[in-house]
Amino acid sequence: MTKLQALLALGQSVWYDNISRDILDSGEMQALIDSGIVGVTSNPSIFKKAIADSAHYDAAIQALRAQGKSALEIYEALALADIGRAADLFRPVYDASDGRDGYVSIEVDPTLAHDTAVTISEARRLFAALDRPNIMIKVPATPAGVIAFETLISEGINVNVTLMFSLQHYEDVAYAYIRGLQQLAANGGDMSRVASVASFFVSRIDTAVDKALAATGDDDALALQGKIAVANAKNAYGRFLDIFSSPLWLELADQGARMQRPLWASTSAKNPAYSDTLYVDTLIGAHTVNTMPPETVVAFRDHGTAALTITDDLEEAEDMVAYLDELSIDFNAITQKLQDDGVQAFSDAFHALLQAISAKL
């Protein structure tokens, strides 16, 4: 049993936070599946690196250019082709897990993060174009995105809700999922065939909060550096346990509804002083997903520890985050800025990708 398979035995699925044509062509993606990877996530930054920073797509770009396609149309054709191929590779995982895993995620145009109506129409279009049951459409947890998410779930579309940093973000999404399922059931839909994950970002929290802690000059504050991100994620897991054991949820579960699992995103350690498996080792538990970039997969295989840890010191985690108030650190403001910055970063990557394709043309 590999370490990744050991995580699966503990109730945590590992999805790969990366995709590119060379990984698909070389057989590397299939090898990852064989080692215990059970899903894939993508985002504009990942596609920018894959398409703009390599020659693997150049022939396809020129062929599409000959058809008169624009840079945006070329990007979408390339992305849909890769996502579709990956979904076909992961279809046996989806079937064997009865729809628990095997999903491949593609993000709606990030420039639409504050436009509910167009996000809904784009998500519908992408889901229909890919036409596979193991596709998840990524939608941001902005206020507009949460409304779109609820509508999409009510229509039976699988959604990966991304860019969550706070407990309020998480609660908004969890309850939107429940409302969406209630609408789906009321319309006679099959709740057992729709799935969702709630992507809660981790390492970026420490990057931001560590600076605020350092600015206090307080020794007790400095002792919290590198700990708030994990504590925040554990608090979100505590809310997950509460919400998905409530009578409101159990009524839907009795009708075949699937839990919306928390997904730990941004799990590579940004600070070289921290263990490169910090955001994996400390967040292992039942009904969770960890989407790992390539370097984190390599590190965890080499020296990570597969053991149940997510419920360790849950009360202490609450106290850590609460202590930020005593230090006059506005954690809510920090998490909201992280979401805003995340939306902007993905939008910037998307624009840079289109510019790179135009340059290749």
Provide the CATH number for the domain around residue 33. 3.20.20.70
Listed in sequence order, the residues at least 6 apart from 326 whose beta carbon sits closer than 8 Å to its beta carbon are none
Coil, helix or strand for 199? Answer: strand
Look at the block and give the residue holding tokens 């109506």: 117
pLDDT value of position 199: 98
| Residues 16, 32: Cα–Cα separation, whole Å | 8
| Residues 77, 85: Cα–Cα separation, whole Å | 12
pLDDT value of position 53: 86
Give the model confidence (pLDDT) of 232-288 as tens digits: 999 999 999 999 999 999 999 999 999 999 999 999 999 999 999 999 999 999 999
Name the residue range of residue 9's domain.
Answer: 3-360
DSSP per residue, 248-296: HHHHHHTTTPPP-EEEEE--S-SSTTS-TTHHHHTS--TTEEEEE-HHH
Active site residues: 138
Indicate whether this model's pTM tops 0.85: yes
Give the model confidence (pLDDT) of 34-67 as tens digits: 999 999 999 989 999 999 888 899 999 999 999 9
pLDDT value of position 54: 87
pLDDT at 218 over 90: no
Q: How far is CA 319 from CA 119, 203, 232, in A?
A: 37, 19, 10
261 burial level (CB within 10 Å; 0-12, 13-18, 19+): buried
The number of folded domains in the chain is 1
Give the model confidence (pLDDT) of 68-97 as tens digits: 999 999 999 999 999 999 999 999 999 999
Share above pLDDT 70 across residues of the chain, in percent, rounded to a whole number: 100
DSSP per residue, 133-178: TTEEEEEE-SHHHHHHHHHHHHTT--EEEEEE-SHHHHHHHHHHHH
Tokens of 357: 């394709």
Listed in sequence order, the residues at least 6 apart from 237 whose beta carbon sits closer than 8 Å to its beta carbon are 262, 283, 285, 288, 310, 311, 314
Give the model confidence (pLDDT) of 165-202 as tens digits: 999 999 999 999 999 999 999 999 999 999 999 999 99
Give the model confidence (pLDDT) of 317-336 as tens digits: 999 999 999 999 999 999 99
pLDDT at 228 over 90: yes
Give the model confidence (pLDDT) of 124-166 as tens digits: 999 999 999 999 999 999 999 999 999 999 999 999 999 999 9
pLDDT value of position 63: 95
Q: How far is CA 310 from CA 224, 235, 241, in A?
A: 18, 10, 11
pLDDT at 20 over 90: yes
pLDDT value of position 189: 95
pLDDT value of position 265: 98
